[in-house]
């Protein structure tokens, strides 16, 4: 049976990106140097595997995210508590938490150091 094993996107600063995703609860699962000088950093949530691959290419100062990228979504047991912890690390939501329908889960978006949107959904 096919399975989605990871998502990859490119980053410009390994330490900043690892710190950001660590603040969201991810753990670094591995780091690999590639023959072309690039570095792949695999991040995962506890007990879920390394589902996020961050690729650092030396000498690249920024990437165009484009209009095709939307976001990845991560759950939060306590959205307000998560946002308070993130604020302590300088990470602020794009706007306060909201719902998209009556009775729906509260959510909000934050951006990683390279501008990728991350949806936080309260569960």
So which residues are the catalytic ones? 119
Q: Alpha-carbon distance 59 to 14, whole Å? A: 13
Q: Which residue has the tokens 């976001």?
A: 71
108, β-bridge pairs: 120
Count of Cβ atoms closer than 10 Å to residue 96 Cβ: 8
Q: Which residue has the tokens 């978006």?
A: 109
Q: Alpha-carbon distance 102 to 38, whole Å? A: 46
Whole-number Cα distances in Å, 65 to 9, 69, 94: 9, 7, 17
Residue 48 gets which letter from DSSP? Answer: S
């Amino acid at each position: 049976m096919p399975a989605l094993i990871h998502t990859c996107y490119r980053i410009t600063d390994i330490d900043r990106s690892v710190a950001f995703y660590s603040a969201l609860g991810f753990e670094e699962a591995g780091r690999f140097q590639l023959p072309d000088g690039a570095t792949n950093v695999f991040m995962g949530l506890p007990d879920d595997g390394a589902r996020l691959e961050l690729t650092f290419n030396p000498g690249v100062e920024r990437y165009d995210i484009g209009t095709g990228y939307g976001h990845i979504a991560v759950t939060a047991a306590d959205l307000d508590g998560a946002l308070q912890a993130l604020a302590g690390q300088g990470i602020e939501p794009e706007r306060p938490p909201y719902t998209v329908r009556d009775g729906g889960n509260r959510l909000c978006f934050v951006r990683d150091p390279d501008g990728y949107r991350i949806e936080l959904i309260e569960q």
